[in-house]
Structure formats: structure tokens, C-alpha cells
Amino acid sequence: MRTHIEHAAAAAELLAPLATQLELLSETVPLSDAVGRVLAVDVTSPISLPRFANSQMDGYAVRAADLAAASTGAPVRLPVGPTSAAGDPVGTLAPGTASPVMTGAAVPDGADAVVPIEQCDPAHFVGIGGDAHDAPTGTTVRFSAPVAPGTFVRAVGTDIREGALLLPAGTRLGPAQLGSLAAAGIIGAPVRPVPRVLVLSTGHELRSPGARLDPVADSGAIYDSNSTMMAAAVTAAGAIAVTASAPDDADAVVDAVEQHPDVDLVVTTGGVSAGAFEVVRDALEPLGVEFGPVAMQPGGPQGLGTALLPSGRRMPVLAFPGNPVSALISFELFLRPLLRGFAGLPARRRTERGVLAHAVTSPSARHQVRRGTVRADGSVEVGAPSSHLLHAYATANALVQLPVGVDSLPAGAEVEIWRIDD
């Protein structure tokens, strides 16, 4: 019987060729599809940002030298020139004039400072607005203090210079990063490719959520939660999920895999234990996938290996138990870290030490993973171990790790927890 650490190492070895393949490739995707993806290469800026000197304030663009003698007792009066509004072409400031300039608008050539409108006299723009772009001829404005060159002017390239590194390889693309790419005029992000994972749910008893369950014919049926749950887990780990289902028929399982030639990996749920109708084992063991117990609870029955399909394709397979909690715990231990590593994301959950709120027991020969809740005071309430209690998992915020060799722990004992609420 393998330990969970040995099985995790076997999973990493199984998918090592896929990891190598992904590291050598990149793909360019639209920015709208790049949220959460990781850059495969360095990206340099094709332009300087800002592209042109622009105003940080609503005010007047001036030459600082023209206001050098301004004071409260002897204000400088300047004629008002053409207005610069956001989107206007870059204008020119005539010597000895002041031009209205709006926030974000280009500062006209010849100007080297902006005086906020609140510091001018009058403290509002005259004759500008609506259909009137420029002030009436003869309009003047007074300034009662000098201004230093560069005041309230955003100079060219103060955010980034053309040709400078905009974002390095390995950057995870969130709102600010995507905004920076868009601001530079970039429409596609060169990102690391992510694997396509076929999530194959098996079982004669499964019905699609929302299907009507006949009181007699479907009295032993259940709604398929694994497809939704595992696809979400795969997606959240940074991969692309494709779902399929198969009844308790070995040929149907193999056919479901063959129908998806574009996937890189197959994850199955159900049919891996020691029962009489273990369809995944029956279907994939003859093709090269190995099945056996792992010293953990839940999730003891596991399958792993490369299936040589009838079509001649070789497909890596991870086969998880069918109970929802067992499947999701298996994913957490054996696949999630690998998928996140492929995507260039931190592989491991945030790990903490917590203090038990009450005593617990555990099978000493197995590594037990229990759903738990970290309370406001930092203590950890541990849920029941049964693998069918999916709702308890849904309301938990941590996974409590009880290692091999532990059969009981008292209240107040320290345990390792993985946070699952981030």
C-alpha cells in the first residue's frame, strides 16, 4: 500500500512529460480570455506611457517663466488661448498666453506647467462648455503666484518608456496587468498553455442535475455532482475542463475517452474500488492503468497510469473514487498542485498550524484529511470523516491533516491545516 506522498510523487512522474511540453510552448490569447493566465515570455512596451505630456488637473497650461513675477499684490494677467480637451491633438501655447487644459488632455507644446483652475482668477473657465470649445476672444485670466516648471504635468514615459519591460514572464494576469497591456495597445497576451482535462464521471446511478427522478425507476439514482465539482476544481486550478459521463460499461468508458482526442489528461471518478461493478478499473486496467490502495482516508482506492487506447493514443489517467469528498480530497492531494504548477501558479494551499477545539480520533495506519472550520478565535472545529458529507465540505474553510501514526488527539493539540477559503 502506497503512502499519499508516494502516490503524489507517482502522479508527478506520470505528468512530467506533459509539464515539459507545456514549458516549451506559448500561445497568444485575447486579453478578455487571459484573466488568471501566466505570461510565457517577457513583454516590452511598444509605446511610452503617457504617449504625450498631459495635465494632471483641470487648469491653465502656462510657461513658468511668464508667471515668475506673479504675486498677490501684483498678479500677472494673461490672454486665454485655445483649449486643450481630452482627445484633442497636441496644440501650441503662444508665449505670454495661458491655455485652458482639462485633466488627461495634452499639454500644448511650449507650456511647461499647469495651474489648477481653483488657484486662478476667475476660479472657473469663462465661455467654455457645451458647443463652445474655446474662450471668447479677449478673455483673460490672472495668476497671483509663480509656478515651478513641471507642476501638474505628466511627462512622456513617466509610467513606462517605449521598449522597457512592461511585464516579466511568469506574471499572473489580473486586472491591473491586463489594463497595462491594453494601455500599451497590446491586444493579445503570450501566455503559458494550460492542459485540457477530461473529467469523466462514471456510474449507472448518475442523473444530470435537474432531471426528473421517477419514484420507481429512479429510486436508486442520484444526481451527478462530481462532473460539476471536478470541472470547477480543474478550472480553478488553472486548466481547461471538458466533461463527459459513462454508464457502468467498460466499452463506454473507453469510448468516452476516445471521443476526446484533444485532451491532455483524463480524470475519472468512480469505479476504482474492489466491488463487483468497478467499471473504470475493468476498462482501463487492461490498457495499462494501475489500481490499488493508498494509505489515506478518504480516497483510499486510486488508479494511475498511461492508458494505451485502441486508437493507439497514449493518455495519462488519474482515477479517483466516486464518493464526492473522496474525489475532491484526491484532487487536492494528487492533481491540484500539478495543474497549478503547469499554469505557473503557486502549487500548494496556504498552510497554517491550528489548535483543535475538541478531541479527534483517526485511523493510525492512514493519513486522514478532515474538513474543518477555523473559528474566529483561531481554534479548529473538525467535521465528521465520512466521504459522502459534501455539504460539510462546502461549508468548511480548511482541511485538517491527521498523519499516519495518529490515532487520537486531545482538545488543544496543534494540527496542520490547509486553508481552502482563499
C-alpha distances in angstroms, 341 versus 85, 189, 235, 345? Answer: 48, 19, 13, 5
90 has which bridge partners? none
pLDDT of residue 343: 87
Could you tell me the domains of the chain? 4-24+194-342 (3.40.980.10), 28-48+167-191 (3.90.105.10), 52-155 (2.170.190.11), 351-419 (2.40.340.10)
What's the rounded Cα separation, in Å, for the pair 362 and 319? 25
The two beta strands, 301-308 and 290-293, are antiparallel
Place of cell 511668464: 66
What's the rounded Cα separation, in Å, for the pair 149 and 111? 9
pLDDT of residue 383: 87
Residue 9: DSSP 8-state: H
pLDDT of residue 133: 95
What sign results for the dihedral spanned by CA atoms 362, 364, 365, 368? positive
C-alpha distances in angstroms, 277 versus 202, 273, 280, 322? Answer: 11, 9, 9, 12
Place of cell 474543518: 372
Read off the C-alpha cell for 164: 522597457
* Cβ atoms 22, 193 nearer than 8 A: yes
Choose among 246, 278, 391, 269: nearest CA to 322.
269
**Burial of 255 by CB count in 10 Å (0-12 exposed, 13-18 middle, 19+ buried)?**
middle
Report residue 337 CA to chain centroid gap: 15
Residue 352 scores a pLDDT above 80: yes
* Cβ atoms 372, 358 nearer than 8 A: no
* Cβ atoms 292, 302 nearer than 8 A: yes
Chain segment 364-387, per-residue pLDDT in tens:
999 999 999 999 998 999 988 876
pTM of the complete model? 0.80
What's the rounded Cα separation, in Å, for the pair 19 and 37? 16
**Of all residues in the chain, what percent carry a pLDDT higher than 70?**
99
pLDDT of residue 350: 92
C-alpha distances in angstroms, 206 versus 203, 216, 230, 362, 374? Answer: 6, 15, 15, 31, 34
Chain segment 390-421, per-residue pLDDT in tens:
888 899 999 999 999 999 999 999 999 999 99
Chain segment 282-340, per-residue pLDDT in tens:
999 999 999 999 999 999 999 999 999 999 999 999 999 989 999 999 999 999 999 99
Choose among 87, 154, 78, 160: nearest CA to 120.
78
Q: In sequence order, what are the residues at sequence separation of 6 or more whose Cβ sits closer than 8 angstroms to the Cβ of residue 216?
A: none
Q: Average pLDDT of 109-128?
A: 97
Categorize the per-residue pLDDT at 210 as very low, low, confident or very high, splitting at 50, 70 and 90: confident
Choose among 346, 347, 328, 345: nearest CA to 337.
347
Q: In sequence order, what are the residues at sequence separation of 6 or more whose Cβ sits closer than 8 angstroms to the Cβ of residue 417?
A: 351, 352, 353, 354, 372, 374, 380, 398, 399, 400, 401
**Burial of 29 by CB count in 10 Å (0-12 exposed, 13-18 middle, 19+ buried)?**
middle
The four Cα atoms 127, 132, 137, 139 give a dihedral, to 10 degrees, of 20
Residue 24 scores a pLDDT above 90: no
Categorize the per-residue pLDDT at 276 as very low, low, confident or very high, splitting at 50, 70 and 90: low
28 has which bridge partners? 190
Read off the C-alpha cell for 127: 465661455
Residue 273 scores a pLDDT above 90: no
Q: In sequence order, what DSSP letters do the residues of 152-216 get, joined into one string?
A: TEE-TTSSB-TTSEEE-TT-B--HHHHHHHHHTT--EEEE----EEEEEEE-TTEE-TT----TT
What's the rounded Cα separation, in Å, for the pair 280 and 226? 15
Categorize the per-residue pLDDT at 226 as very low, low, confident or very high, splitting at 50, 70 and 90: confident
